[in-house]
Structure 1
Amino acid sequence: PSSFVLLDRLPLTATGKLDRTSVAASTKAAPLPSSDAAHTSRPGTAAEETMKELWREVLRLSRVELDDDFFDLGGDSLQAVRLFAAVRDRFGKSLPLATLFQASTVRRLAAAVEEHAGDARSALVPIRAAGTAPPFFCVHPVGGEVLCYEPLARRLGPDQPFYGLRAISDDVERDQPGIEDLARKYVRSVKSLQREGPYLIGGYSLGGQIAFEMARRMRANGDHVALLAIIDSAPRSACSRPSLARLFLNAARRLPSWLADGHFLAKLRFWRWRIAAALFDASVPGQAQMPDEIAEMWFPEDRIPLVRALAAARDRYVPGPYDGRLTLFRPKAVPLLSGEDPEVAWRRLAKGGVDVRILPGSHMRILSEPAVESLATQLAGCLDAALKRPVSRRASRLPCLQPASP
């Protein structure tokens, strides 16, 4: 062997199997000199050297090699957005963020830029294509991309295929679709890969609402939705403006957990805007257009039109009843200022009931380490249980929804 690495314990996935990705990352910690060293450290092409420079800047590392993996180096979704913005500025080429799943090393990403690779028109993103289990499909949050799901896919292990559904920014900005339109499109994408059930679908934040509408349409069409996983998402009724008395009562009750989660300045600026919107916007209470100074705290400038279009779709969406059961994953820490409890709102919509799973962390951290480990563990159990559950034989067509034509 070319190196020896001592570990306190072998890393495991949520299902108790060896996490080979984490083992591979650990072996990078203390390599011994090998014959591969010259190959790894050799000067690259002009594109590769430029890409190494961008990676060092974005990841704030003093050294990056051609075959280093973005995610193994600790890269996250926000850093990926900054990296691809830098790639666009430096190379003059715009690639979908999902390219990073297939080209996660400096060498491969430089080659993708030179070839201008990546399907910019496909909503379906194979975050982890391998595995023998039925695939899990997860819908994008309000940012439109699915890189945020990489830690969750990794934690679920190599036997669980995991596909993201991302928004096509040009289409969304041009057409201003509703949640129903997005759900219809994403159902077609799912069925292009998996023609028959059981279907396992979910989504985080806004993605949970889109996944809910997808499940409604699939059930209305007679499809078997084995699992609908809603990850800290609330239907519109839970986001509507509460009375001032209720708003401040909720704030007093939730203040300790809110303070414990950090990000004070960003939160104060955000909620200053939300309070003003809730009090003074007459057209859509509590959902006035997000100011640039707020949007830019989380999204790069070129993503803001997409974010606003998706937020507008969320604000217009009025969910109907779902003739099935859903699983709600929610953190202990809840928003400081909000109306109805999301669990209560989902129970009114899901006629088959709501299974609630409480997780550590907060809305902004639930998909990041270390909180994502608990999410993956519970989601893995739900995926296994869903596939063992017998198919409901009752009529699944909803009287308020025509059968979809995926």
Structure 2
Amino acid sequence: MLAAWREVLGTPKVGLDDDFFTLGGHSFAAMRLVGTIERLTGRRLPLAAVFQAPTVAGLSALLESEQSTTEAAPVALNAGGGAVPLFLVHPVGGEVGCYTGLSRALAGRHPVFGIAASVPTDDAPAAERVEDLAARYLRAIGDRGGVAVGGWSFGGLVAFEMRRQYREATGRALPTVLLDTPSPGLLRAHPSSGVDALVAFAEDWSEGTGFPMPVTRDELRPLDPAQRTELLVSRCIRSGGMTEADRPQIARSIAVFGRHLRAASRYDPPAVALPDPVLLVLADQGDHRERIAADWAAAAGSSLLVREVAGSHYSMLHPPGLQPLVTQVTQYLDSYGNRDGYDTGSS
């Protein structure tokens, strides 16, 4: 395990209890770490495990105990606390590393769990619709009261649908946090296949790693679908400091990204006003803020709470924009924890 960490992080100075992300790791480096561990040990961990146990000692324990064998199971992202637990659904890329800063800031007050995309199997094929993802993740959370759900970007779409399905099935409120989540109407109007999907993945890759865009639209356009994917994978390897051994993992990530993008473009929730409020936090540097707020107000009814924080779609999850976001989320969750009649799950 130490050898894998040293190889991925490019440093021999790794301790058993050093945090992967403190040492410079990020979501795509975590993806490479999982592939390197598999190559060196012959055993595969879900990517979400890196965020659940981001130390050599923690990952070694998971590997030895064979825990977290499915990425669909919620993973604990912080040390917890006594108030309303928050389950955060993965964004379009399928992973939960984007929530590292938020979960750590909420530690000790609100337990935070991440729900990463599941690995398709014969018994559980890949979900092609937001509605199917929501139903699957509600089952993963289980029949417990007193929780909240949320998500950044695409994750907010799934969380909103979870709220609708939960209320329909139980009659109970499900507090829901949308973090700069585009409205369904806006997403339905956005191209979600072919070159557009690959360019969107490249943009997300660049924002997540800090490396330049691996490909351009003009480079992809004249190629056939297989050639486009091959070029994008090869460029990600070259620009992201990865190796040929990481090729299968990158290709899987592109497939997951495209599948979720298509699901978002087809999602059209019914306009059913529910009494429990939804928190929508928008980045003040984002586009279409007025339309997004208006569209979500139409979908959620008068229960929508709209707040803005400084930053872009990506930077709002990191300092300095993170602290205002933490404040908004904490106030919202605390208001539920203190509300008379809210099912806290203690009975």
Bin the TM-score by the shorter chain. Answer: 0.7 to 0.9
State the partner residue of 1:37. none
Q: Is 1:190–2:141 an aligned residue pair?
A: yes
Q: Is 1:177–2:128 an aligned residue pair?
A: yes
Compare 83-92 and 293-302 and name the one that shifted more.
Answer: 293-302
For the 8 Å contact 1:95–1:113, the answer to whether it is kept is yes
Q: Kindly provide the amino acid, as one letter, of the partner of residue 333 in structure 1.
A: Q
For the 8 Å contact 1:331–1:358, the answer to whether it is kept is yes
State the partner residue of 2:213. 266
Q: Is 1:205–2:153 an aligned residue pair?
A: yes
Q: Is 1:73–2:16 an aligned residue pair?
A: no
SS of the residue 2:315 aligns to: coil
Change (3 A) 1:383 1:301: same
Q: Is 1:165–2:112 an aligned residue pair?
A: no
State the partner residue of 2:70. 120
Q: Kindly provide the amino acid, as one letter, of the partner of residue 300 in structure 1.
A: I
Change (3 A) 1:80 1:237: same
1:130 Cα deviation after fit:
3.1
Mapped to 1, the partners of 2:333 and 2:295 lie a distance apart of: 24
Matches within 5 A, 1:101-250: 101-114=51-64, 116-120=66-70, 122-128=72-78, 130-171=80-121, 174-192=125-143, 194=144, 196=145, 198-225=146-173, 227-241=175-189
Superposed CA deviations along residues 61-90 of structure 1, whole A, max 9, x for unmatched, are: 341122322234343322211211222233
1:391 Cα deviation after fit:
5.2
Mapped to 2, the partners of 1:330 and 1:67 lie a distance apart of: 36
Change (3 A) 1:94 1:179: same
Q: Kindly provide the amino acid, as one letter, of the partner of residue 188 in structure 1.
A: R
Mapped to 2, the partners of 1:229 and 1:388 lie a distance apart of: 17
Superposed CA deviations along residues 313-364 of structure 1, whole A, max 9, x for unmatched, are: 21221111242331111111224xx698211211111113321111122112
Unpaired runs of at least 5, structure 2:
191-209, 241-248, 343-347
Q: Kindly provide the amino acid, as one letter, of the partner of residue 219 in structure 1.
A: R
Mapped to 1, the partners of 2:162 and 2:2 lie a distance apart of: 40
State the partner residue of 2:46. 96
Q: Kindly report the root-mean-square deviation, in angstroms, between the aligned alpha carbons of the 2 structures.
A: 3.4
Matches within 5 A, 1:47-86: 51-86=1-36
Change (3 A) 1:174 1:116: same
Change (3 A) 1:330 1:389: same
SS of the residue 1:266 aligns to: coil
For the 8 Å contact 1:179–1:210, the answer to whether it is kept is yes
Instruction: Please point out which of 299, 302, 308 is paired with 1:358.
Output: 308
Instruction: Please point out which of 289, 292, 297 is paired with 1:342.
Output: 292
For the 8 Å contact 1:238–1:339, the answer to whether it is kept is no
Mapped to 1, the partners of 2:291 and 2:105 lie a distance apart of: 29
Sequence identity of aligned pairs in percent? 32
SS of the residue 2:175 aligns to: strand
Unpaired runs of at least 5, structure 1:
1-50, 243-262, 277-287, 393-406
State the partner residue of 1:327. 279
For the 8 Å contact 2:78–2:107, the answer to whether it is kept is no
For the 8 Å contact 2:188–2:265, the answer to whether it is kept is no
State the partner residue of 2:263. 313
1:264 Cα deviation after fit:
10
SS of the residue 2:280 aligns to: strand
Mapped to 1, the partners of 2:118 and 2:82 lie a distance apart of: 29
Change (3 A) 1:115 1:222: closer
Mapped to 2, the partners of 1:266 and 1:167 lie a distance apart of: 24
Superposed CA deviations along residues 269-315 of structure 1, whole A, max 9, x for unmatched, are: 36x799x8xxxxxxxxxxx99x5356875982232222222222212
Change (3 A) 1:308 1:99: same
Change (3 A) 1:115 1:314: same
SS of the residue 2:176 aligns to: strand
Q: Kindly provide the amino acid, as one letter, of the partner of residue 209 in structure 1.
A: L
For the 8 Å contact 1:326–1:352, the answer to whether it is kept is no
Q: Kindly provide the amino acid, as one letter, of the partner of residue 269 in structure 1.
A: T
For the 8 Å contact 1:148–1:367, the answer to whether it is kept is yes
For the 8 Å contact 2:74–2:114, the answer to whether it is kept is yes
For the 8 Å contact 1:332–1:362, the answer to whether it is kept is yes
Aligned length: 305
For the 8 Å contact 2:167–2:174, the answer to whether it is kept is no
SS of the residue 2:25 aligns to: coil
Q: Kindly provide the amino acid, as one letter, of the partner of residue 190 in structure 1.
A: I
Change (3 A) 1:361 1:85: farther
Change (3 A) 1:190 1:327: same
For the 8 Å contact 2:187–2:265, the answer to whether it is kept is no
State the partner residue of 2:197. none
Q: Kindly provide the amino acid, as one letter, of the partner of residue 317 in structure 2.
A: L
Higher Cα Rg, which structure: 1
State the partner residue of 1:304. 254
Q: Is 1:87–2:37 an aligned residue pair?
A: yes
1:185 Cα deviation after fit:
1.4
For the 8 Å contact 1:203–1:211, the answer to whether it is kept is yes
